[in-house]
Amino acid sequence: MTRKIKFLGLVEYTPTLDAMKALTEARDAETQDEIWLLEHPPVYTLGLAGKTEHLLRTDLPIPVVRTDRGGQVTYHGPGQLVVYPLVDFKRMHIGVRELVRRLEQSVIDTLAEYGIRANGDVDAPGVYVDGAKVASLGLRIKNGAVYHGLSLNVDMDLAPFGWINPCGYPNLRVTHLKDLGVDESVRQVAERLLPQLERQLTV
């Protein structure tokens, strides 16, 4: 079954989350998988177990949204590629850890095309370049289907990451592709990532 690919541009977080939930709730065995590629306006999101102690300022100028993915707090903003693979997890016949590894690998392989050596971390999901985090992951599986996904920092204001403990890790360094020598738009990076993602999600 082919997947529906949607390039959504810059879209607000909460309505997008509601749309992901609605698609997941309405799924049946014949529902086509979708991959959404987009950007969000500035927003912090707290995962199910997210602790407010990881918000380091009481006067944050950016909204904080409690959400239903795994993980702690992260930041989304313009210049960051967000990918939501809305897939039927049952069809894949793999475990959650393997799914996370495959999503990470899609980013690692994409960065390799740019000549950037990156790696995952079994203890702290995401993708790193020389110890600095360039991509984050957070998933939710419901009724055998996946929503939420990954975010890849392309060319964005990194300052808001300094106002939190990214993903719950104090002093975690964060980077973006711009500082790694990649001068491409979010859409260009999305089009390069998409084939790698499709390959990793094909069983």
Is 136 part of any known ligand binding site? yes
Does pLDDT of 1 surpass 80? no
pLDDT at 122: 83
The residues facing 138 across adjacent strands are 149
Each residue of 8-27: pLDDT tens digit?
A: 999 999 999 999 999 999 99
pTM of the model: 0.96
Question: Mean pLDDT over residues 48-63, rounded?
Answer: 93
Is 185 part of any known ligand binding site? no
Which CATH number is 34's domain given? 3.30.930.10
* Matching residue, tokens 């971390």: 121
Is 75 part of any known ligand binding site? yes
Structural domain span for residue 116: 4-200
Mean pLDDT of the chain: 95
The single residue of 167, 182, 189, 201 carrying the catalytic annotation is 167
Each residue of 121-174: pLDDT tens digit?
A: 988 899 999 999 999 999 999 988 999 999 999 999 999 999 999 999 999 999
154 is annotated as an active-site residue: no
Count of the separate structural domains present in the chain: 1
